[in-house]
Amino acid sequence: MKLLTLATATAVAGMVAATGAQAQTLQQVKDRGNLICGINTGLVGFAFTDAEGNWQGFDVAVCKAVAAAIFGDASKVEYKPLTGKTRFSALSSGEVDVLSRNSTWTFSRDTDLKLEFVGVNYYDGQGFIVPKALGVTSALELDGATICIQTGTTTELNLADYFRANNMSYEPVPIETESEAKQKFLANACDAYTTDASGLAASRSSYPTPTDYVILPEIISKEPLGPAVRQGDDDWGDVVRWVLNSLIVAEEYGVTKDNVEEMASAAGDKPEVNRLLGTEGEYGAMINLPADWAVKVISSVGNYGELFDEYLGPNTPVGLERGLNALYTDGGILYAPPFR
Amino acid sequence: MSVVTNPDAPTFRLDMLWRDERYRSGFIQAITMIILMLVVAWLVNNTVQNLAALGKDFNFSFLWQPAGYDINQQLIPYRSTDSNARAALVGIINTLVVAGLGCITATVLGIIAGVARLSKNWLIAKLMTVYVEGFRNVPVLLWILLTATVVNESLPAPRAFRDLETGAVVATNRGIYIPRPLFESGWLVLLIIAALSIAGAVLFSRYTKRHQEATGSQLPELGNAVRWIIAGTVGLISGVVIANVLFTLLSFTPLEEGNTIIVALGSAASLVLALAVVRWAANAQVAGLMIIILVVPTVVFYFLLGRPITLEYPTLQGFNFQGGIQLRDSLIALWLALSLYTGAFIAEIVRAGILSVSHGQSEAAFALGLRPNRTMKLVILPQALRVIVPPLISQFLNLTKNSSLAIAVGYMDATGTLGGITLNQTGREMECILLLMGFYLVLSLLISLVMNIYNSHVRLVER
Amino acid sequence: MSGTHAETVAYVADTQYDPEPAPSSSTGPIAWMRESLFSSWTNAGLTILCIALIAWIVPAILEWAVFQSVWNAKSLSECREIIATRFGEGAHGACWAVINERFGQLLYGFYPADLRWRPDTAALLLVVALVPILFRTMRPLVYAMAGLIAVKVVFAIAWTLMGDDGMDFLLSPTTFVALVVGGLAFVFGSEAVKSKWLYFTLAYPLIAYFLLWGGLIFEPVRSSLFGGFLLTMIIGVTGIAGSLPIGILLALGRQSRLPVLKMVCVTFIEFIRGVPLITLLFVASTLLNYFLPPGTNFDLILRVLIMVTLFASAYMAEVVRGGLAALPRGQYEAADTLGLTYWQGMRLIILPQALKISIPGIVNTFIGLFKDTTLVAVIGLLDPLGLTNPIRSDANWNGIVWELYGFIALLFFICCWSMSRYSMLLEKRLRASDRR
């Protein structure tokens, strides 16, 4: 019996970690030796497991980048798969340090839910996909249609607003996971499937005959997806924000996974790159990170463009174009504040 | 009573609290009470502190704000501009619908499977064993997901009906459409007549029972010809029903593969059923007469009143079938999965109940010359029922609670609305989950209450 | 004597005739069929119906699952191509390749591959811990371990012949543990020393904790890496082990003569039994943090373990209460007459009998709990069912349904079915001992 008590005590002690949920998240992460990152339980291109059982994806890469900035090691992340229901409470209760789970930055989430969105890593919008055989070319022709919705983000509300505004009726079929929703759509149990446009493209890529389906031109909402942290710990917010910005700036200045070590070896002729890579100024110290934090970030995950190409780009099964997510210099709206 | 009371009562010592019988129970209870209150206070205090630290409050005003999302299955009118509370109510009604339907079908399935497992027919007994063991030993969530897949993938999409003549019942992978009754003037009269005939049938059955108890003969003593007429009528009605079902299946559901098999199975089933019906009706004239009492006045008045209730058939318009009642695929998948799963448990309960009745009882019944059917109905089942009902109640409760897994197939029950989208969109976890738990708790207690009343009704009255 | 007999009776048989065999109409397969398949018209119809049903379903399933299935492929589309080329366009076949590739993930979740011998060993030791409770001697353990080693040898040989490295598989720590444990059980396995093994059972939770989570000499493993069937086992076994003692206490509390204590227990039991497990899991995943002192942060798996244990103990309490109620009043009175205190009476007289009566119910609760562990998928824990989502989000396997669900269903069926078989065995044994 004593052994049992001892076992329980040890087990509980091992699993109950006292954390101050409010401030000094950075220090806690450093003390703990890993970053706890909330991710999706599975979304094509953004979060999935590979054959070896490692988490991969565009959202997961943000976690890796933050870990690389802090520890110089992108593998020091503990992933917590979260559902639409559990994600915000997991963040606010301190269960995860950062939430990188395709969450839309909205007014009420930023204010009422006490979250802080540090930026946008993917500009998305809600769209529709329909079978070509249906002969529909515009979302406005969907009056009376049955529509499968992947729930969890703001999808249901956007859809309700859109159909009400256009005075159309529809039959909503809300499904929690992408895989189930897609299965229903492919079986023609719904006429159209709606979720973020990135999700639609990703979903279509995996259909047996992708060419039989079209994504309708209407984008009915703005979905800026980005990582979020708890409100009230600005220092930690800064770390995540600037890690995200460093990915974008790196692409802007052509700093890649391959050339980052070389560029960081000595100060070059571009002052902003020098400040990014820590060869000029004390920028790392300002956010309590090592001077070469950005070097570690880029050498371990690559810049924004490389990440996009790896998980979402035209050469992946997902096959997304950059679109809005191109740099502002290339016609997109990706625009990181300067490193100065 | 010559208990010597000690006038100078023993001085109270502290250890008497747990050594002395008189104080011990009070002491233990007081301690329990104090610990309990401390724990509750501690929890409440923690919660208040945590909420304050997060800058959140605890209030239910979000319930009266617009929900903003739509719900497909709504038994009361609801729009996305209605409040969260109304959305929750729609969900609650949906929970009640699927739980109620599920309890009924699970009981029917369970009784059939339980009796069939004891069948002398080896093949049927074994098949039922496969069913019971298969469903009992695999998680219900998995069954729900699998059933949803079967419904969605095996039934045709509405589009497949585009150039086909459709009729009363249409089975698509978006649900099964059945005719909707339209009530026109005079329907109330018809309803009253139907109610009266039910009352008449009940009175008739009471009268026959009393007559049988008094005289021993079933009433009325009818000639063979009348018997066969009754049997024929009932057989005809069931034949028409079966033919209709078959016709619907064949002409309105373009199942290309397996059509022949359905025809074969359907014909075999109708043959068996017709045989059974004829035999049953020939044996039980009373039942046959009751059916006539029930059906004939209503049918006659239906036409006399100028058909006050008509049916609206579903027709394909645009993307979907319009008109009729749509039993959505999510409802059907959930309903089917819950019924099959719980039915397997009920089958075991029924089987155990039947086996609990001593073998001598059925032997005695056979010795009295009762046929197997009547032995089961009059001797075995009434006794088995006392064993069956209490565990049956807990199965109904389980089914109701398992219906909360509706979110897996997108059926918008209370968990899907109040505990799902409303929770997601308002971020009020504590309020939503507490309300949700409260609802299920009340529902469970109500079911227990109703079934306990019934249970005390059938309980063996002991000397 | 015989002479007189012969005079009075015309004929006496003086040899015993061999009995005639039963007429062919009442024995043999034909009679059996007539008796059990075609005893009446209705029965015959039903039989034909059943045969038609079987003839329709079984070949279709076999064709899909066995004859036209693919075991080696890198992605679903590759599977589809292989099936199309091998069995013709439009053929349906199972793509078991996904199970083949993700087998380790479905079993262990994200547990580091080189440390997977630790959960293996923990599972093996679980058997060791269970045998003294479940059986009368340690003999079954010897058979189990011998069987395990034999299976491993067969697989190792098969793999070596196929060109893979089978020796690694054979020379794993589990083999050595199995050898040691099997040997010990062989030598010290008699009924007399069996009770000594119970100390190991008591120590098992501690051993399992260190094996799974690490610590002491083992490299620590974070619980967020737990997943797959390993997670099912952890939740199931903890819930089962924890719910029994709590359930007994609750049942005793519910029977107590102290009104306050009784009220508390009744409220707890009825509350837990009145709400679905899924809402309790929501509480575990979203609300429990609010109820604890600010700054405490429980591991999600621990929170779920607590909730599942509480949930199961309420059901267990009702099963045990049934057992307590079934005992004749005289047993309680006998305990009082002997001058035993409440706890002595319970421990020595009431509980051993009450628990014996309620064993089938207890095992059923265990089976139910084991199946209910799948609900943790709804709150984002990656048990086998939860893992189907990230697996299907991999572009290679996007769109696979039946194979994953089928495999998981089979996994659960094997576990639950063997538990229910064991409970039937126990019931039979109990009935035999009651009949004395």
In terms of Cα–Cα distance, which of B180, B176, B320 is closest to B249? Answer: B176
pLDDT bin (cut points 50, 70, 90) of residue A18 is: very low
Q: Is the domain covering A126-221 a CATH 3.20.20.70 domain?
A: no
pLDDT at B176: 86
Interacting residues of C117 by C-beta distance below 8 A, sequence separation 6+ = C172, C173, C174
If you measure CA to CA, which chain C residue comes closest to A95? C297
Residue C335: count other Cβ atoms within 10 Å of its Cβ: 19
Each residue of A128-137: pLDDT tens digit? 999 998 888 8
Intervals of CATH 1.10.3720.10 along chain B: 84-158+328-458
A320 contacts on C by Cβ (under 8 Å)? none
Q: Say how far apart CA B449 and CA B431 lie, in whole Å.
A: 27
If you measure CA to CA, which chain B residue comes closest to A156? B69
Whether the CB of A160 is below 8 Å from some CB of chain B: the reply is: yes
B56 contacts on A by Cβ (under 8 Å)? 114
Interacting residues of C183 by C-beta distance below 8 A, sequence separation 6+ = none
Whether the CB of B53 is below 8 Å from some CB of chain C: the reply is: yes
If you measure CA to CA, which chain A residue comes closest to C282? A86
Phi, then psi, of C198 in degrees rounded to 5 = -65, -25
A48/C401 Cβ within 8 A: no
Whether the CB of B323 is below 8 Å from some CB of chain A: the reply is: no
Q: What's the token pair of residue B216?
A: 């021993």
If you measure CA to CA, which chain B residue comes closest to A152? B424
Best residue in B74, B94, B174, B326 to probe A by mutation, most A CBs within 10 Å?
B174
- Within C258-334, strands assigned E span 296-297
A143/B157 Cβ within 8 A: no
Q: Say how far apart CA B318 and CA B320 lie, in whole Å.
A: 6
For the CA atoms of B362, B365, B371, B375, the dihedral, rounded to the nearest 10 degrees, stands at -60
Each residue of B345-404: pLDDT tens digit? 999 999 888 888 888 888 899 899 888 777 888 888 888 888 888 888 889 989 999 999
Cβ atoms A19, A94 nearer than 8 A: yes
In terms of Cα–Cα distance, which of C165, C158, C204, C159 is closest to C181? Answer: C204
Best residue in C273, C289, C388, C417 to probe B by mutation, most B CBs within 10 Å?
C273
A93 contacts on C by Cβ (under 8 Å)? 289-290, 297
pLDDT at A16: 47
Whether the CB of A174 is below 8 Å from some CB of chain B: the reply is: yes
If you measure CA to CA, which chain A residue comes closest to C381? A81
Between the alpha carbon of residue B433 and those of residues A163, A221, B411, C275, the distances in Å are 30, 29, 18, 11
Intervals of CATH 3.40.190.10 along chain A: 24-123+225-330, 126-221
For residue B429, pLDDT over 50 is answered with yes
If you measure CA to CA, which chain C residue comes closest to B445? C274
B269 contacts on C by Cβ (under 8 Å)? 49
C292/B123 Cβ within 8 A: no
> Please, what is the average pLDDT of chain B?
79
Question: Please, which chains are in contact with B (at least 3 CB pairs closer than 8 A)?
Answer: A, C
Whether the CB of C297 is below 8 Å from some CB of chain A: the reply is: yes
Mean pLDDT across A108-136: 88
Q: Which amino acid is at C126?
A: L
Q: Taking a contact as any Cβ pair under 8 Å apart, which residues of chain A between 1 and 60 contact chain C?
A: 1, 3-4, 6-8, 10-12, 14-21, 34, 36, 41-45, 47-55
Mean pLDDT across A251-278: 87
C286/A85 Cβ within 8 A: yes
Mean pLDDT across A39-58: 85
Global pTM? 0.83
Residue B160 CA neighbour count, 13 Å, CB half? 18
For residue B463, pLDDT over 50 is answered with no
A161/B319 Cβ within 8 A: no
For the domain covering B84-158+328-458, report its CATH number: 1.10.3720.10
If you measure CA to CA, which chain B residue comes closest to C285? B429
Q: Taking a contact as any Cβ pair under 8 Å apart, which residues of chain A between 139 and 198 contact chain C?
A: 177-179, 182-183, 186
If you measure CA to CA, which chain A residue comes closest to C220? A14
B157 contacts on A by Cβ (under 8 Å)? 187-189
Mean pLDDT across B219-248: 59
Interacting residues of B81 by C-beta distance below 8 A, sequence separation 6+ = A164, B66, B68
Whether the CB of A184 is below 8 Å from some CB of chain B: the reply is: yes
Q: Say how far apart CA B73 and CA B94 lie, in whole Å.
A: 7
- End-to-end Cα separation, chain B, in angstroms: 34
Whether the CB of A172 is below 8 Å from some CB of chain B: the reply is: yes
Pairing of strands A77-82, A122-124: unpaired
Chain A: nearest CA to B162, how far in angstroms? 12
For residue C5, pLDDT over 70 is answered with no
Whether the CB of B91 is below 8 Å from some CB of chain C: the reply is: no
pLDDT at C313: 93
Whether the CB of A285 is below 8 Å from some CB of chain C: the reply is: no
**Residue from the list B142, B275, B444 with its beta carbon closest to the beta carbon of C408:** B142
pLDDT bin (cut points 50, 70, 90) of residue B233 is: low
Q: What's the token pair of residue B382?
A: 């009434």
In terms of Cα–Cα distance, which of A154, A94, A113 is closest to B62? Answer: A113
For residue C29, pLDDT over 80 is answered with no
pLDDT at B255: 43
If you measure CA to CA, which chain A residue comes closest to C402? A183
A143 contacts on B by Cβ (under 8 Å)? 318
pLDDT at B245: 58
Question: Please, which chains are in contact with A (at least 3 CB pairs closer than 8 A)?
Answer: B, C
Between the alpha carbon of residue A112 and those of residues B54, B303, B334, B363, the distances in Å are 10, 63, 35, 73
pLDDT at A12: 47
For residue B146, pLDDT over 50 is answered with yes
pLDDT bin (cut points 50, 70, 90) of residue B257 is: very low
C56 contacts on B by Cβ (under 8 Å)? 258, 261, 265
A10/C206 Cβ within 8 A: yes
Phi, then psi, of B379 in degrees rounded to 5 = -110, -55
Chain C: nearest CA to A117, how far in angstroms? 21
Whether the CB of C105 is below 8 Å from some CB of chain A: the reply is: yes
For residue B2, pLDDT over 70 is answered with no
C35 contacts on B by Cβ (under 8 Å)? 120
B437 contacts on C by Cβ (under 8 Å)? 275, 279, 283
DSSP result, A78-113: EEEEE-TTTHHHHHHTTS-SEE-S--B--HHHHHTT
Each residue of B6-52: pLDDT tens digit? 555 567 777 776 677 777 778 888 888 899 899 999 988 888 888 88
Q: Say how far apart CA C323 and CA B142 lie, in whole Å.
A: 32
B79 contacts on A by Cβ (under 8 Å)? 164
A151/B420 Cβ within 8 A: yes
Phi, then psi, of A124 in degrees rounded to 5 = -120, 175
**Residue from the list C39, C43, C49 with its beta carbon closest to the beta carbon of B265:** C49
A177/C102 Cβ within 8 A: no
pLDDT at A298: 92
If you measure CA to CA, which chain C residue comes closest to A13? C298
If you measure CA to CA, which chain A residue comes closest to B47? A93
Each residue of A19-44: pLDDT tens digit? 444 458 899 899 988 899 999 888 88
pLDDT at B323: 80
Mean pLDDT across C101-109: 86
C298 contacts on A by Cβ (under 8 Å)? 15-16
Instruction: Write down the architecture of domain A24-123+225-330 according to CATH.
Output: 3-Layer(aba) Sandwich (3.40)
Question: Please, which chains are in contact with C (at least 3 CB pairs closer than 8 A)?
Answer: A, B
Mean pLDDT across C311-331: 88
Per-residue buried b or exposed e for B220-232, using 16+ beta carbons within 10 Å of the residue's own CB: eebeeeebeebbb
pLDDT at C227: 86
Chain B: nearest CA to A189, how far in angstroms? 5
pLDDT at A11: 46
Please state the length of chain C. Answer: 436
Sign of the C-alpha dihedral computed for residues C198, C200, C203 and C209 taken in this order: negative
